[in-house]
Structures are given as structure tokens and as C-alpha cells.
Chains A and B, each alone.
Chain A
């Protein structure tokens, strides 16, 4: 049975497979880069021009001659503050649903999770109406509130499973030592869920950075984030789709999550896995 495939062939096959998979994962990203330096006339030819004169016009246009960096800054501000809000609020809620005796807490936890399934189209009008009444449209706090609301359910559920994992004895011991519940939460439980917090932070950050629909309706010129700005490079009018510009914008947006993933991967993976298994 085993002798059918020689070990060398097997190894070769394996290497080839991994190579194919790597190509599949990497190719579209590399292609995005190629698009960003290929002039429009060169891009829209078939068979594709493999040798072409690279151009930096799109990079110059997006970075220097447009407000894209301003929108990008908005994106970063909104996403990072949302992460903080989400972490604080869901940490408390997750802890509460894990540690304390609350009636029907399993049901409450599931109910919170199910809130994340709400289709955005269904609730955008009521939210907009509320926001315009309160003057929240096109403000940082408005859009941060919405992003928080839509990331809290998953975060609560996720962090709760981390708190569940901490052995109860630790807490009991603390109680015996005369530790108040608040203090126990702060100095014993919180440090133990650090990997979960980091994983949750990265996940929330990427979700906020990539969000489009709410941002589109609820922001205007002042706090418009980068995803909404990218879409304006895709008009269906006489200027034609601006492939080059949108590729540049896309690369800029994905840089920061990529850096996160590359350097914090360890935390992210171990956090997700622990959060998911329990």
C-alpha cells in the first residue's frame, strides 16, 4: 500500500500543493499591487500586457491630490475608539454572564449573540431617524456608538467563554482573602484573559475598519471613513471605474490589519481558539 508512492514523490507533491495554495492566497493581493501601478489603457487589454511601463500616477493622486488620507485618519480614529468601547463594555458583560448568578444567563448570552445577526438594511432608517433627532449624524460619537453596538454581541459571547475557563478556585481564594468582587475582577480575572482581549481587539478593529453600509448612511464629509471613500472610486459614469485609485486605496486600508496579523498572530490565533473551544 505504502510503496505505491515513493517518499520523494510524496514530498514533491506536498511542496507543489503548498505552492499552489500560497499562490491562491497571495496572487490577488499581488495583482492589486500590479493594478495600482498599471495605467488604465494598459490594464484593459487582452491578452494582458505582462511588460508595461509602471506608473505612480494613481499613488500620487490618492495620497497627494485627494482627501483620502483624511478619510483614512477618520477610519483609524473610529475603529480604535470603537475597540476600546467594545472591550470595556463587553468585558463587564461577559464577566457578569460568566461569574455571577443571574437567572437564565445562558439564554441572555445567546440572546445577546443573536443581536449580531440583525440585517443592517432592516434597521438603518430607525437608527438614522434617532441620530438626526439627537444630532449624531456625521459625528465621531454617533458612528462609534453604532459600531460598538454591532460588535458587542460577538465580543461578549467570546470573552464570556474566556472567563468561563478560569478555574473558580482562584476566585474563591481571593474571596477568602477578603477581596471585593470588583477587585477580584480587576486584579485576578482580567490579566488571565489577556489573550482573549487581544484577539477580540484585533477582530473588532478589522470589522470596524472594513464596515461600509452604516458608515455610508450615517457619515458625511466630516467623519467619512476610508471604505466609503473607496467606493467613490467606483462610479458608473463617464469617468469609468478607477481601478488604479481603488487599488491604491485598498492597499492602504489593508496595510494596518496585515501588520496586526503578522505581529500579533500568536495572540490572535490562541485567543480565537480558546474562545471558540470552550
Chain B
């Protein structure tokens, strides 16, 4: 009897010990528990979803994370001020991939190569699509960023109208323009042939770059930096843009991305030049009247433009290791799957998944684009100046205040100036 009692007491004590040790183990979260990191990201749906999920990370590791979502247009001045002042205000920062070389050359981003190698099991570096390596991830063969927000240029079209007209998705721009013209002649103004971004902001320049690459040229030669806009290819690209304007709603020269999307969503355009994540805009009944009546395809000329942002750790961060834990968590495969409803995914294992491709057609288009050598935005320091000046000239052409030929000459000259001032183009 006594033995039994002792055994019972021992058992209870054992139980206590086990519970207690379990509690201790649960308490021992991460080496960096108690630290606080600050993350700056653009205020977009995917980033917002990530912010909401960050609680899980905090519970798991004990690291406190303050996510600051900034308007994606005005984020840049803030980031520049923070990093130029070598401030530790933010530990994790987000940038447009076009600016990665600039940020690295300025000494603002932490070289993550060794950590990636150390934690390669968690990071799974080979799972990122190879096409993203030279844009969102590496620079000069060192690892700096993680693609956290990726997309590509694409064309949206109204399935009902294409069906009525008996058209197939166009294979190249000549075919596409023929379709757009026919639709416009038959239906305009309900709907017009196409909507695109015609306002003088960088998106117009980005759009133009994908037209250039569809004609076999680019802003400039990627090796010699010799401008290529003032060539027959450039002229052809500009003519496509001018022709698109003819079949677009009247206000198109004032459209930025959202106005262009509004035109398509309100049923005022049969096609729309946009980015893959537009599917959520058009599938949202609060914003769109074309729910279920549209589809998406890669740009007809091939070489759709690759867009997106990367996250990196600031060189001036005071909690680099804790920030690294968060970056790993936020870009893990598990997290990518959770965030599928918000944006395209950079990981091969998910992109190749037939179920994902079926459920999220934008991922299918994005994957196709990555496979067919996408157009890369210029990764130079003065990228914004190049975009803005190019967009202003293009907008003037669309307005009719300058003829195409002098416009191309002006662009050529402005590109030359910018590229030689930054030391890329040798005279």
C-alpha cells in the first residue's frame, strides 16, 4: 500500500517536472527573444497580410516586430533619408529591384551570403526561380535580398468580347493591334479597345520598355550602354503606343495604373495593359463590373517586364540576427503558400504546382514569363530620372505636342546624358 502511495507521489512529481520542463522549453524561444526589430515595407495587400501574420512569428520567437507600412510612392524619400543618415530606425527595408545595385554600392545593405549558406536548409536557396537571381536576390554574385513582392507585366482581356469576335489570345503585337482595332470599331465607347497607363509617371516608361523589347531592342544595349530608342525598333514600339491611344478611352493620357484598371473594371476597355496582380482588382465586386468575364495572358510580344520588390537587412541595423530570423520566416515556403491569395510567388516548388496554377492564373502567367527571359528594368543609379524623362516625352507624344521622330531623338539624347554622367556609357 505504502509502495503504491510512494509510486503515486513519484508519478505526480514526475508529471510536474515534465510539465515544468515543457514550460521552460517553450519559454526558451529564440536566442533573440526580447529584441525589437523594425520593418519598413510598402503598404500593399501582400505586405499587409504579412503584417497581420507577424503575430505568429512574435509568439514563436519572442522577437517583437514593428511593421511600418509606407505608401509605396512616398516610401522612397523616407528610406533614402534613413539610410543616408546611417540611421538604425529600420532593420528590414524594402526596395524596388531596380535600385539593388545602387543600394549595395552605397553600402546600405547587409551581405547575407554567409548566413544563407549557414541556414540553407531553412532558406532553400535553389527553390527561388533562377530568373530572379540577378534582379531581386544577388548583385556581383553576393546575396543581398529576398524577393518578397514579385509580379510581371501582362495583358488582361475580356473573355466575353473575345468570344463574340471569335478571337484567340493574340500571339504578337501586330495581331493584338488588329484585334484591338476591330473591337474598338465595333463596340467603342462600350468598351474601347484597350486601356493602358498614359500618365507621365514611371509606369508609362516601363510599359514602353516592354514594347521596345518586343521589337528586339531596349532602352540601351545591356553591355555597351549605347541607347537603342532611336532605331527602327524604337520607332515601331512608339508607333504601337500611338496606335493604342487611338483605341483607348479619351482620358488615357491621364491614366496611371489605378485609372487604367478602373477603365477595364468599369467595362470601358476590352483589354488592359497591366501587371499580374491586377487579377484581384478585377475579381473584386466592390471595384469591378467584369468579375468572371476576364482572363490574363503574358504580353503578346513575349519578354513581359519583370517587376517587384525585395527585402533586405539594413547595414545599420542593431539587431541584424533577429532581423534575419524574420526575413527567413517571411520568405519561407510555408509563408509563401499562406500568402498565395495576395500576389505571385517566387518559389519554384509552388509555381510549378499544377493546383496553384489552376487556382491562381496570375501565377501561371508569371511562371511563363520567368521561363521566357523576361525584360529586366535598368539597374542603374539614375533609373528614376531615366523613367521620368522618358515618360514625360512619351506623354507629350501621346498628347500630340511633339512628333514621334524628334521625341525619339530627344530620348536618345537624354539617355546618353544620364548614362554618361553616371559613368556607364563611355564616350
Contacts and interface: CB of A to CB of B under 8 A. Distances in A.
Consider the complex of A and B and state whether they touch directly, i.e. have CB atoms less than 8 Å apart.
yes
B81 A236 contact: no
Rank and list the top 7 A-B pairs by shortest CB-CB distance, nearest first: A132-B87, A240-B258, A128-B81, A129-B85, A232-B71, A132-B85, A221-B68
B71 A40 contact: no
Nearest to A237: B44
Interface string B231-268: 00000000000000000000000001110011000100
B77 A44 contact: no
A200 to B, nearest CB: 31
Interface string B271-288: 000010110110000111
Most buried by A among B86, B262, B280: B262
Given A41-B287, A220-B89, A235 B71 contact: yes
Contact of B261 (A39, A129, A231, A238): A238
A37 to B, nearest CB: 14
Nearest to B151: A238
A16 B304 CA distance: 58
Contacts of A238: 44-45, 257, 261, 275, 277-278, 280-281
Interface in B66-93: 66, 68-74, 77-78, 81-82, 84-87, 89
B289 interface: yes
Contact of B266 (A39, A41, A137, A236): A41
B43 interface: yes
B73 A236 contact: yes
B44 A235 contact: yes
A239 interface: yes
Chain A interface extent, by class: 20 to 34
B85 to A, nearest CB: 4
Interface of A: 39-41, 44-45, 124-125, 128-129, 132-133, 137-138, 216-217, 220-221, 231-232, 234-241
Nearest to A216: B74
Contacts of B77: 124, 216-217
Contacts, number: 86
Contact of A44 (B70, B81, B82, B266): B266
B89 A235 contact: no
Interface in B284-299: 286-289
A236 B258 contact: yes
A133 B316 CA distance: 13
B37 to A, nearest CB: 13
A237 B87 contact: no
B318 to A, nearest CB: 12
A17 to B, nearest CB: 33
A132 to B, nearest CB: 4
Interface residues of B, number: 39
Interface centre among A133, A138, A217, A236 (most CB of B within 10 A): A236
Nearest to A230: B71
26 contacts: A39-B286, A41-B286, A44-B266, A45-B266, A124-B81, A128-B81, A128-B82, A128-B87, A129-B84, A132-B82, A132-B86, A216-B74, A216-B78, A217-B81, A221-B66, A232-B69, A235-B72, A236-B257, A237-B44, A237-B72, A237-B257, A238-B261, A238-B275, A240-B262, A240-B281, A240-B287
Contacts of B258: 235-237, 239-241
B256 A236 contact: yes
Contacts of A231: 71, 74
Contacts of A133: 85
A137 B86 CA distance: 13
Contacts of B287: 40-41, 240
Contacts of B288: 41
Nearest to A137: B89
B44 A128 contact: no
A230 B93 CA distance: 22
Contacts of A132: 82, 85-87, 89
A6 to B, nearest CB: 46
A41 B287 CA distance: 6
Contacts of A138: 89
B59 to A, nearest CB: 20
Contacts of B43: 232, 235
A125 B77 CA distance: 10
Nearest to B285: A41
A125 B44 contact: no
A240 B275 CA distance: 13
A235 B87 CA distance: 26
Contacts of B286: 39-41
Contact of A137 (B44, B87, B277): B87
Contacts of A239: 44-45, 258, 281
Contacts of B68: 220-221
Contacts of B85: 125, 128-129, 132-133
